Amino acid sequence: IPIHSRRAGRIVIHDAPRSPSPAASESDDGGNEDEPGSESNPLRLYKTRAVDPDPRWPRVNYLKNLLKCGKDRMVSPDTLPADSQDDRFRTLVQVDWYNSVIMGRSHPVVEMKWLDWQYMSSKNNIVFNEVRKVCERKHVADLLALHYSWNEEVIGQFYSTAFFGTTKKGLDFVKWTIQGQQYRVSMAQFAVALGLDDDDLSRPHIFVEDALSSTSTTFLYEKDAPKDCLGTTRGLRPYYRVLYSIFRWSLLPKVGDATALPGRHALLLNRMRYNKPDFSIMKLIWSKIYETVCEPRMGCIYAPYIMKMIKAKTGICYFKDKQHKPFRPHAPSTSATPTRATRASTSAAPSSSAAPQRSESSSPIKKALRAIFCMCAKTAKKVKKIERRQKEDWIAAGKDVSDISDDEEFVDPFAAYETARDIASSEGPSGTSRFFNEESSHSEESSDDEESDAPTENVPTDPDEAVDAAGQDIDSPHSGDTEIIPSDGDDDEA
């Protein structure tokens, strides 16, 4: 018997309850504390290639055929023949999805991170404080701080077998199998497992709205940011830059082009403004999981949330082989107090050091050189992406290939110059720094010991990976120290 069959067969859990629940396990007076699936004896599941029923039968690589993937996954597995020879799966569609998507990638599950609010509070940073206020107001603060590690095989089986449907009463549900045992939860039950408030499902779904046009996203950027920043992560205001860096690790994971600001991320940032209506967090998560099942372009997302829901539904404790790490964003510099900044901003004449800074940031030669650099860096990243996909296809075909290397880091050639210029221009004749002035710029270097590692393959990419390998901030000549809070309208930027 192949090792994967032995392992799967051994863990197909005759000893575990067929339909366990947390309440049932708590009522056993501790008599089954050492049973498989208990806290003291978690089940250990491992990724193993699913058994093919007949090697001569053509199999489907769903990574290469996303259109067929979407069609096949919208069919209920209960209506298909139970042709799988692997105890974990019922149908050949599930087998092919698992073998091509889970086993065909070196990192099939996208890394997620939980937000360390305590760290952000300890910084006493005005931008951090505003971010926390708006996250609490939008009912997302607790979910961002949810800390729950996961088992990669459990997540793989969930995505390989998940089927989304609607009851006759119009209630959305998802059903899936773990080790051959089927489970089912409604969207409302999923929301309860994540600790979302009772009104979440009554709020509108954010992604049914039309995407924002480039011209309608100007509120995200610094006042003097060039027009070519639109649609990118360069030149974002500090408030939105911090929010974006948080969401790409949690609420809306991002992989792919490091410098692009996807339309959905721009739409999400827009809804984080105070004058915008609240949105349903569960509907956002639900739709993204469904999209991943039908089109697994970026890997399996929301592993901590899914793992917590599975534990709440099944009552089974699985050994967690992937750690949910914390995320601690860089704090925007606030070296001067607002009172000093106010006095400086109300002076009759502008600072003598401000003029050369604006002229330097608008230099046509510098813009041309930066554009060439960004174009070359983007081309190199595309070539690397194609190379990675080719190697993943070869791996799926059973060929021996060299390890998939990490993306190359491109260092901005202008960064050192701008840092020195900003340091020199940030001090006036009296030695006081010019902060909270939208015309100023600064270098956002940080030496925090708690800084997160740079993401690797198939994990959320940095907002400006070519400049800051730590992935915590954006180095831009337009990233000032202005106190930025969510604006109340498109025309209220100062």
Which residues fall within 8 angstroms of residue 165, CB to CB, at 6 or more apart? 76, 172, 173, 174, 175
- Distance CA(492)–CA(403), nearest Å, equals 51
Q: How far is CA 27 from the centre of its chain?
A: 38
Residue 46, pLDDT score: 84
Residue 162, pLDDT score: 98
pTM > 0.75: yes or no: no
- Distance CA(155)–CA(171), nearest Å, equals 24
- Distance CA(79)–CA(90), nearest Å, equals 11
- Distance CA(98)–CA(103), nearest Å, equals 6
Query: In whole angstroms, how far apart are CA 407 and each of 100, 167, 388, 391?
Result: 23, 45, 10, 14
Size (the chain), residues: 494
For strands 325-327 and 113-115, give the pairing.
parallel
Residue type, 323: Q
Place of tokens 């190697």: 391
Residue 268, pLDDT score: 96
Place of tokens 């091509």: 100
CA dihedral 117, 483, 222, 363 (to 10 degrees): -120
Low-confidence residues of the chain: pLDDT under 50: 1-31, 335-361, 423-457, 459, 461-494
Q: How far is CA 192 from the centre of its chain?
A: 21
Residue 208, pLDDT score: 87
Q: Determine contact, residues 426/434, Cβ cutoff 8 Å.
A: yes
Q: Determine contact, residues 424/356, Cβ cutoff 8 Å.
A: no
- Find, among 351, 331, 476, the residue nearest to 424 by Cα: 351
Burial zone of 237 (CB within 10 Å; 0-12 exposed, 13-18 middle, 19+ buried): buried
Rg (C-alpha) for the chain, rounded Å, is 25
Residue 476, pLDDT score: 35
pLDDT tens sequence across 104-163: 999 999 999 999 999 999 999 999 999 999 999 999 999 999 999 999 999 999 999 999
Residue 401: Cβ within 10 Å count: 12
CA–CA–CA angle 319, 321, 325 (5° rounding): 120
For strands 163-166 and 172-178, give the pairing.
antiparallel
Which residues fall within 8 angstroms of residue 392, CB to CB, at 6 or more apart? 63, 104, 105, 106, 404
Q: Which long-range contacts (CB under 8 A, 24 or more apart) does 21-27 make?
A: 21/313, 21/314, 21/315, 22/312, 22/315, 24/315, 25/315
Q: Determine contact, residues 268/245, Cβ cutoff 8 Å.
A: no
- Distance CA(141)–CA(471), nearest Å, equals 21
- Distance CA(25)–CA(315), nearest Å, equals 7
